[in-house]
Structure 1
Amino acid sequence: MAKVKYVYDPEKLAYRKIKPRKARKFGYFALFLVASALFGFLCFVVLLNTSYFETPKDRMMAREIDNMKINYAILNKRLEALNETLNDLEDRDNNVYRAYFNSAPIDEELRKGKVPAKNRYKELEGYNNSDLVINTAKKLDLMANQMVFQSKSLDEIVKLAKGKEKLLAAIPAIQPVKNEELKQMASGYGYRSDPFTKVRKFHKGMDFSARTGTPIYATGDGVVERADASLSGYGNHIEIRHGYGYKTLYAHLSKYKAKPGQRVKRGDIIGYVGSTGRSEAPHLHYEVYQNGKVVNPLNFYYGSISAKEYVVISQIANQENQSLD
């Protein structure tokens, strides 16, 4: 029940009841409605920014964001592990592979490539997790640069390895005749007595005493450059061009089993021992050339004899005896 108010009337010397106006009542009511609406709106805004008023869609998006954060963290750990592996490969590339093939190491800054431009990641800015996303993107770009460069480097290593393999196969590395109990060595490289003039002169190769018809073997991979008797004193002889500056000569053959232009492998039979040309007895005269200069063949037998055998052959070869040609 509404409270009744009175006012004193001096003319009538009595109290009279105050009757409220309808307009004022309506104003109070309208003001109440406006205040209520404003208060309700403020409460609604507050609730929207709290977890108490989340929609199912909001909760799903929040879970997706949390999952993305976890996935990015896992991805970064995997990137770090891959980066360690890549760094290890780069270290082996510089300090093992390139060292083995006598190739200069690659500078660290060159491996990383060009630094990405600053505006490259501009489209990733402005988000709640921009730092995480940009950091991951930078790591990926850096690793991509390193992997591309490392791939090219490994291609180069493969080429070096193939070249090294061919080089090792081409170097004269075995004796041109089989060495049975070291009895076939007749004369070595250096000054020896000429069998015909008895004058001391330089002997450019090694003589292997053997029966006529004993097989002669190519001492390294190469191409037969000559198989004739055109050189004075050498009789029937064969020259093999091995490449990489190496050439070998086999003289006084009884017959050939290789012809000019033929490609041979180390260990292939190219001819047979004889005594043609300026020769005192059946034997093979063998010479090795490196970059156009004649060298001691004794230094190239590592592929067919042991260290102990090398010492014995070296002692025999260094004796200043008489050569057979």
Structure 2
Amino acid sequence: MSKVKYYYDSDTLSYRKIEQKKGRKAGIAILSILGALLAGFILLLVYLNIPQLETPKEKALRRELENMELQYELINKRLKRNEDILTEIAERDDNIYRLYFGAKPIPEELRNAGFGGVNRYKNLEGFDNSEMIIETSERLDKLTKQIVVQSKSLDDIANLAEQKEELLATIPAIQPIKNEDLKRMASGYGWRSDPFTKARKFHYGMDFSAPTGTPIFASGNGVVTRADANSTGYGKHVRIDHGFNYVSLYAHLSKYNVKPGQKVKRGDIIGFVGSTGRSVAPHLHYEIFKDGDRINPRNFYYGSLTSEEFNEMLKASNLINESLD
């Protein structure tokens, strides 16, 4: 209940009731509201122009942005580290691993191939940090593809290593007659005098002079493909397929110790020295084929000769003398 106010009227010498004018209360209320709004607006202007002052929401957004910038920096450092590691692996792959196994290096354009023809990052355009986001996305995509290429390459290297291990076990690598059983190295690979016609003729193998019956050893793992006397001039001879396009041939045997289709290992006795076929004295005629072509056998004795013995063998094989077949 509102209070009734009075005032003293000196003319009538009495108290009179104070009557409120209509609209006065409404005006006071409006002025109060306007004053409050004006004061609030002034305070807001002052607040917004003081850089040290932030709203709670602004503080949260700023902390989130700082955290995102920190995470982006860490991601870039990790990305750079992974790029460096992959580059080092690629260099080793091309210059060590592939070189060792005789494989061609991976072309640079294949390692660094891009993604031309399509804008893969259109959905990342139009933002304040679009350039930064697109650049990082491109680096990640390129790194991912390089990892796929390198992974495939390492799989190939692992396969080559397995084959290399098998190759080292199968490739001809020992002298087919022991040094202590040799009379002499009769003739090497190259132009020699034919013992029958005395004309110069290319000698495609190496002749090891030894007594009849001297054991002949398989120079590498493989499968016997022939053990017969049906090849002109060779007499009784044995051929071994070593795989990897290598074949070894042993001619002028006195008798066999293997048969066609038989698997042999390096060092197994496959036959014995003789003088069958086109031969002037007991000896072993030894040949090696690679990809169907006859090559110099002297490079395939690293598994049984010392360096001194190998040098002596080289000297003897290079002598221009007369062959025994």
Report the TM-score range of the alignment, normalised by the length of the smaller protein: 0.7 to 0.9
CA offsets per residue over residues 222-264 of structure 1, 9 Å max, x none? Answer: 3321012223443321012334543321123343333222343
CA offsets per residue over residues 128-171 of structure 1, 9 Å max, x none? Answer: x6655544333322211221122223333444555555555554
2:34 matched residue in structure 1: 35
Is the contact between residue 187 and residue 207 of structure 1 (CA under 8 Å) also seen in structure 2? yes
Please show how residues 46-85 of structure 1 align to structure 2 within 5 Å.
Answer: 54-55=55-56, 62-85=62-85
CA distance in 2, matches of 1:279, 1:115: 69
CA distance in 2, matches of 1:60, 1:76: 24
The code of the aligned residue for 2:38 comes to: F
1:147 matched residue in structure 2: 147
Deviates further, 212-221 or 43-52:
43-52
Question: What displacement does 1:176 show?
Answer: 1.0
CA distance in 2, matches of 1:320, 1:143: 60
Distance 1:267 1:36, change over 3 A: farther
Is the contact between residue 183 and residue 210 of structure 2 (CA under 8 Å) also seen in structure 1? no
Alignment partner of 1:122 is 2:123? yes
2:156 aligns to what SS in structure 1? Answer: helix
2:179 aligns to what SS in structure 1? Answer: coil
Deviates further, 134-143 or 222-231:
134-143
Give unmatched runs, 5+ long, in structure 1.
Answer: 1-18
1:273 matched residue in structure 2: 273
Question: What displacement does 1:287 show?
Answer: 2.1
Is the contact between residue 253 and residue 276 of structure 2 (CA under 8 Å) also seen in structure 1? yes
CA distance in 2, matches of 1:97, 1:123: 40
1:114 aligns to what SS in structure 2? Answer: coil
Please show how residues 227-306 of structure 1 align to structure 2 within 5 Å.
Answer: 227-306=227-306
Is the contact between residue 228 and residue 237 of structure 2 (CA under 8 Å) also seen in structure 1? yes
Distance 1:169 1:40, change over 3 A: farther
Question: What displacement does 1:209 show?
Answer: 2.5
TM-score w.r.t. length of structure 2: 0.73
Question: What displacement does 1:29 show?
Answer: 0.6
CA distance in 2, matches of 1:91, 1:272: 50
Q: Percent identity among equivalent residues? A: 47
CA distance in 1, matches of 2:231, 2:181: 32
2:77 aligns to what SS in structure 1? Answer: helix
Is the contact between residue 287 and residue 297 of structure 1 (CA under 8 Å) also seen in structure 2? yes
Distance 1:81 1:96, change over 3 A: same
Deviates further, 269-278 or 42-51:
42-51
Task: Tell me how large the CA RMSD over aligned residues is.
Answer: 3.9
CA distance in 2, matches of 1:280, 1:293: 26
Please show how residues 180-191 of structure 1 align to structure 2 within 5 Å.
Answer: 180=180, 183-189=183-189, 190-191=191-192
1:106 matched residue in structure 2: 107
Distance 1:118 1:288, change over 3 A: closer
1:140 aligns to what SS in structure 2? Answer: helix
Is the contact between residue 237 and residue 252 of structure 2 (CA under 8 Å) also seen in structure 1? yes
CA offsets per residue over residues 257-305 of structure 1, 9 Å max, x none? Answer: 3322234344333223334445454432212334444444334334433
1:177 aligns to what SS in structure 2? Answer: coil
CA distance in 1, matches of 2:282, 2:110: 64
